[in-house]
């Protein structure tokens, strides 16, 4: 069967690998669509420290059940379209003992620390499967990245009395926007690309702010009566945006970091204390898959506006190269196996 493999930074090819069989507690899945995100782009660029090569990517998945091994619940029948959680948890580390398995110290995400789903068939434990009746294949493949944004909103304890600023309108940032709006908050979307900001409005943003060349402090002050946003969710991952979140959030506000800054970040740490801030990390997703599925069923999320390009497995290398050369041109790229 065909599989897409990143042999080394900048080098992608389609290879042939054996078709797996489902063991006890596993289902065999036929891949329909796999979404690619910034993590996959970083893998292609050689800038993902969690990846070793060669690697088969793929963790944003829409699939169909082909067969089930022993000890799989009867409702997981062949032909059922599903998505799945791509994470693992050890059950023994400090995070797992606290029930926060999304932050397992020894997590191995599909397509990152272990081989992913960008192949025609793969197996998964039945416990990771989510059946989502009524969702399209495109919607199914968006559940995981949107869940990451929904988890960030949960970490920020967003309520209907909050003004939330979300920095970065990629799919994860759009998930944070949608989740915050879903919770009744007023949402300010921030990005350097007007195309992404237009999608952010469709996802639930009340106001948008193009930060390229703007005086961000003055703009946010004008939008918040000089107070600053109650919550800032950072979904970019640069030292500048990490600092900006602390600078601009309101006194006693909450800052949630989803993005990874690739270099060390220098802070004016007095603001941590003077503002008495809650500074929070947000990793993967916990119980948000079901919440996202319900939100998607409402039909209000702009799925078509998110998907910039759908390609075949054989075109994956070329689209990653194009995306690498012009990151702002794409929101979400999907690889179709059907």
As a whole number of angstroms, the distance between CA 186 and CA 183 comes to 9
As a whole number of angstroms, the distance between CA 88 and CA 108 comes to 5
First-to-last C-alpha distance (Å) of the chain: 13
As a whole number of angstroms, the distance between CA 151 and CA 168 comes to 16
**For the chain, how are helix, strand and coil distributed in percent, rounded to 5?**
35, 25, 40
As a whole number of angstroms, the distance between CA 95 and CA 101 comes to 6
330 C-beta neighbours (distance < 10 Å), count: 18
Helix-then-strand count for the chain, H and E: 11, 15
If DSSP codes are grouped into helix, strand and coil, which group holds residue 278? Answer: strand
- CATH number for the segment(s) 2-131+302-336: 3.90.180.10
Asked whether the beta carbons of 175 and 205 are under 8 A apart, the reply is no
Same fold, 2-131+302-336 and 147-281: no
Please state which architecture CATH assigns to domain 147-281.
3-Layer(aba) Sandwich (3.40)
For residue range 196-254, list pLDDT tens digits in order: 999 999 999 999 999 998 999 999 999 999 999 999 999 999 999 999 999 999 999 99
Look at the block and give the residue holding tokens 């416990």.
127
Q: How do the domains of the chain map onto residue ranges?
A: 2-131+302-336, 147-281
If DSSP codes are grouped into helix, strand and coil, which group holds residue 49? Answer: coil
Asked whether the beta carbons of 144 and 86 are under 8 A apart, the reply is yes
| pTM of the model as a whole | 0.93
As a whole number of angstroms, the distance between CA 35 and CA 77 comes to 24
**How far is C-alpha 315 from the chain's CA centre?**
22
338 C-beta neighbours (distance < 10 Å), count: 10
Q: DSSP secondary-structure letter at 255? A: E
* CB neighbour class for 259 (10 Å; exposed up to 12, middle 13-18, buried from 19): buried
As a whole number of angstroms, the distance between CA 143 and CA 255 comes to 24
Tokens encoding 23: 């063991």
Asked whether the beta carbons of 143 and 116 are under 8 A apart, the reply is no
Tokens encoding 122: 């793969």
What contacts 98, CB < 8 A, 6 or more positions away? none
CA distances from 321 to 149, 192, 315, 329 (A): 26, 21, 10, 12
As a whole number of angstroms, the distance between CA 145 and CA 208 comes to 21
Beta bridge partners of 234: 167, 257
46 C-beta neighbours (distance < 10 Å), count: 14
As a whole number of angstroms, the distance between CA 59 and CA 35 comes to 7
pLDDT tens by residue, the chain, 338 residues: 999 999 999 999 999 999 999 999 999 999 999 999 888 999 999 988 889 999 999 999 999 999 999 999 999 999 999 999 999 999 999 999 999 999 999 999 999 999 999 999 999 999 999 999 889 999 999 999 999 999 999 999 999 999 999 999 999 999 999 999 999 999 999 999 998 999 999 999 999 999 998 999 999 999 999 999 999 999 999 999 999 999 999 999 999 999 888 789 999 899 999 999 999 999 999 989 999 998 888 877 888 888 989 999 999 999 999 999 998 788 889 999 99
Asked whether the beta carbons of 266 and 259 are under 8 A apart, the reply is no
């Amino acid at each position: 069967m065909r599989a897409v493999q990143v042999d080394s930074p900048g080098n992608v090819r389609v290879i042939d690998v054996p078709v797996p069989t489902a063991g006890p507690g596993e289902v065999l899945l036929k891949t329909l669509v796999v979404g690619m995100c910034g993590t996959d782009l970083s893998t292609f660029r050689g800038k993902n420290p969690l990846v070793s090569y060669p690697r088969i990517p793929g963790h944003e998945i829409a699939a169909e059940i082909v067969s089930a091994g022993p000890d799989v619940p009867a409702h997981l029948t062949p032909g059922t379209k599903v998505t799945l959680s791509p994470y693992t948890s050890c059950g023994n580390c400090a995070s797992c003992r606290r029930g926060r398995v999304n932050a397992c110290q020894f997590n191995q995400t599909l397509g990152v620390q272990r081989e992913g789903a960008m192949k025609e068939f793969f197996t998964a434990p039945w416990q990771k499967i989510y059946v989502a009746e009524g969702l399209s294949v495109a919607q199914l493949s968006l559940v995981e990245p949107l869940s990451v944004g929904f988890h960030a909103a949960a970490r920020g304890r967003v309520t209907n009395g909050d003004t939330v600023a979300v920095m970065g309108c990629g799919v994860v940032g759009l998930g944070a926007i949608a989740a915050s709006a879903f919770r009744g908050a007023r949402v300010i979307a921030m990005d350097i690309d007007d195309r992404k900001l237009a999608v952010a409005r469709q996802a639930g943003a009340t106001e948008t702010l193009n930060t390229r060349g703007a005086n961000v402090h003055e703009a946010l002050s004008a939008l918040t009566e000089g107070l600053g946003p109650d919550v800032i969710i950072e979904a970019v991952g640069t030292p500048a945006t990490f600092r900006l979140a602390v600078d601009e959030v309101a006194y006693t506000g909450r800052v949630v970091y989803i993005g990874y800054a690739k270099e060390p970040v220098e802070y004016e740490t007095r603001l941590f204390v003077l503002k008495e801030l809650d500074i929070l990390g947000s990793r993967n997703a916990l119980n948000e898959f079901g919440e996202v599925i319900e939100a998607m069923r409402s039909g209000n999320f702009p799925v078509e506006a998110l998907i910039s390009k759908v390609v075949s497995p054989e075109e994956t290398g070329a689209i990653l190269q194009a995306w690498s050369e012009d990151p702002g041109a794409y929101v979400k790229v999907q690889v179709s196996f059907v």
